[in-house]
């Protein structure tokens, strides 16, 4: 047995892999006194969990992390990507099938955005897939109000700063024009909060519809609105080096 195996796994990572929350949120839960290890309060996220230890969150036992799994979900608009919304709006997680395990999202789509949302039971995997260094393109279909000059879109290729926030390179092009609206395709690697909406507003092109059609190698395809479908485990490991050997 290696020293790492004998020592166990940091509890924040354990909770993240168990799909309870992201590692950062797990640390906040620990600091709030919501986590116990073998019936003793956990006071620091660097405490270690060993095989056979009992972990409780809000008094409820946490099962050993399962194998990493990933689902494609076709998010409708009108849902927030959070487990609990203080404003009482309907959430993505309330609309998932009852037989789904506890999952967290890979990034987010805002209330009025639609399309592909990846879900996983592994918080460490979610974090890995969200990192810009992973290099995965997020691809979107975007409807804006008004006509679009292609030269304006070229301004996005080298990044743009909006209200003090610097956004990375965005590739964009025109797909079609319908009356007073223009459909665009847009691709980016970082995906900051409401990035496309804020960038397009800065170009005086307000977004009236936004649909994510791909996240890295995973595509929305013909997945029906509101449907969820698990990614085959073999395909998952082929596409994500992070999981190889796990």
Residues 6+ apart with CB under 8 A from 109: 75, 81, 115, 117, 212
Alpha-carbon torsion 43, 45, 51, 55, what sign?
Answer: positive
Catalytic annotation present for 110: yes
Q: Measured in Å, how far apart are the chain's first and last C-alpha atoms?
A: 17
Q: How far apart are CA 141 and CA 174, in angstroms?
A: 10
| Residue in 25, 77, 85, 110 annotated catalytic | 110
Contact 76, 41 (CB under 8 A): no
Contact 88, 186 (CB under 8 A): no
Residues 6+ apart with CB under 8 A from 208: 143, 144, 145, 181
Q: How far apart are CA 215 and CA 212, in angstroms?
A: 8
Q: Which residues participate in catalysis according to the annotation?
A: 110
């Amino acid at each position: 047995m290696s020293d790492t195996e004998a020592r166990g796994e940091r509890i924040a990572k354990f909770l993240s892999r168990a799909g309870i929350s992201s590692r950062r949120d797990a640390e906040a839960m620990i600091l709030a006194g919501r986590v116990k290890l073998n019936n003793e309060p956990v006071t620091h996220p660097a405490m270690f969990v060993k095989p056979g230890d009992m972990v409780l969150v809000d008094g409820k036992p946490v099962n050993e992390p399962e194998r990493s799994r990933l689902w494609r979900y076709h998010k409708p608009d009108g849902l927030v990507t959070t487990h609990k919304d203080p404003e009482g709006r309907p959430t993505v997680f309330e609309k998932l099938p009852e037989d789904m395990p506890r999952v967290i999202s890979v990034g987010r789509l805002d209330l009025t955005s639609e399309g592909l949302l990846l879900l996983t039971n592994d918080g460490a995997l979610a974090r890995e897939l969200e990192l810009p260094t992973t290099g995965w393109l997020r691809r979107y279909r975007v409807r804006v109000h008004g006509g679009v000059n292609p030269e304006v879109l070229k301004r996005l290729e080298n990044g743009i700063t909006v209200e003090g926030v610097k956004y990375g390179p965005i590739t964009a092009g025109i797909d079609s024009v319908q009356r007073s609206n223009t459909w665009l395709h847009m691709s980016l690697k970082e995906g900051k909060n409401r990035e496309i909406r804020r960038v397009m507003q800065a170009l005086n092109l307000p977004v009236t519809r936004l649909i994510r059609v791909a996240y890295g190698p995973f595509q929305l395809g013909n997945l029906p609105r509101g449907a969820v479908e698990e990614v085959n485990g073999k395909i998952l490991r082929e596409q994500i080096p992070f999981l190889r050997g796990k």
